[in-house]
A and B are shown apart, each in its own frame.
Chain A
Amino acid sequence: GAGVSQTPSNKVTEKGKYVELRCDPISGHTALYWYRQSLGQGPEFLIYFQGTGAADDSGLPNDRFFAVRPEGSVSTLKIQRTERGDSAVYLCASSLMWGKESGYTFGSGTRLTVV
């Protein structure tokens, strides 16, 4: 597609529930990134994929968070047993490749609210 698409744009869920957030990157972009932006803060890195594999998942806060990219295109961020502290905007970005000269394109984000 023309840009990075994230669905849903808004998600309200109850504490303890499971949620999935989807990211559809720009076609042909091999690198895909997930960030989390809490209120009043800058985005914080969660995980990035080079192709199908998670090249760096050091930003995932705990084992309730997991992300996959099975075919090297669409990625899903999965959050189990959601907590109120998980409420944030989850941003996805993609780039042609990992590296110094590549530009990142961000999606509009999914606003997750845990009540």
Chain B
Amino acid sequence: AQSVTQLDSHVSVSEGTPVLLRCNYSSSYSPSLFWYVQHPNKGLQLLLKYTSAATLVKGINGFEAEFKKSETSFHLTKPSAHMSDAAEYFCVVSDYGGSQGNLIFGKGTKLSVKP
């Protein structure tokens, strides 16, 4: 069965410092992996996705993530945090090779950015 674990429920950084949001996944098949961001009272927005092409994936707003099969990880990073990055971030796995064509979300990591 597919699953995703976000290792931190809350991460706090200072503006201008690096961001690291950790995610480990479990999948029976070659997974597609995503990071979504959710700002308060807004819809989920796709940051980036991995679908078996390059292992280093660049997304919007300066975010990137690296797919590491040996570690079953897909951590999200950004070199320098901005105040507008404060939001909830979800790591997501989808296993299109299985019987369910749906996205499986982690519990989320709330990112706080201090001035």
Which of B66-74, B75-83, B98-106 faces chain A? B98-106
B25-60: CB near A (< 8 Å → 1, else 0) gives: 000000010001000011111100101100000000
Q: How many A-B residue contacts, CB cutoff 8 Å?
A: 62
Do A42 and B46 touch across chains, with their CB atoms under 8 A apart?
no
CA distance A42 to B36 in the complex (A): 11
| A41-B108, A42-B90, A99-B96 as given contacts; A104 in contact with B46, CB under 8 Å | yes
Most buried by A among B32, B42, B102, B103: B102
Chain A nearest CB from B52 CB (Å) reads: 8
A71-112: CB near B (< 8 Å → 1, else 0) gives: 000000000000000000001010000111101111111000
| A41-B108, A99-B96 as given contacts; A104 in contact with B43, CB under 8 Å | no
The residues of B that contact A109 with a CB separation of less than 8 Å are 43
Do A48 and B101 touch across chains, with their CB atoms under 8 A apart?
yes
Do B106 and A42 touch across chains, with their CB atoms under 8 A apart?
yes
CA distance A45 to B43 in the complex (A): 16
Most buried by A among B41, B45, B52: B41
Chain B nearest CB from A77 CB (Å) reads: 15
A29-46: CB near B (< 8 Å → 1, else 0) gives: 001010100001111110
| A107-B43, A108-B43 as given contacts; A100 in contact with B32, CB under 8 Å | yes
Is A26 on the interface with B (CB-CB < 8 A)? no
CA distance A4 to B42 in the complex (A): 12
CA distance A31 to B103 in the complex (A): 13
Do A103 and B46 touch across chains, with their CB atoms under 8 A apart?
yes
The residues of B that contact A45 with a CB separation of less than 8 Å are 100, 102-104
Is B22 on the interface with A (CB-CB < 8 A)? no
Chain A nearest CB from B54 CB (Å) reads: 14
Q: Using a CB–CB distance below 8 Å, which chain B residues touch chain A?
A: 32, 36, 41-46, 49, 51-52, 90, 94, 96, 99-108
Can you show 9 pairs from A to B with CB atoms below 8 A apart?
A: A4-B43, A42-B106, A43-B105, A91-B43, A93-B44, A101-B51, A106-B44, A106-B45, A109-B43
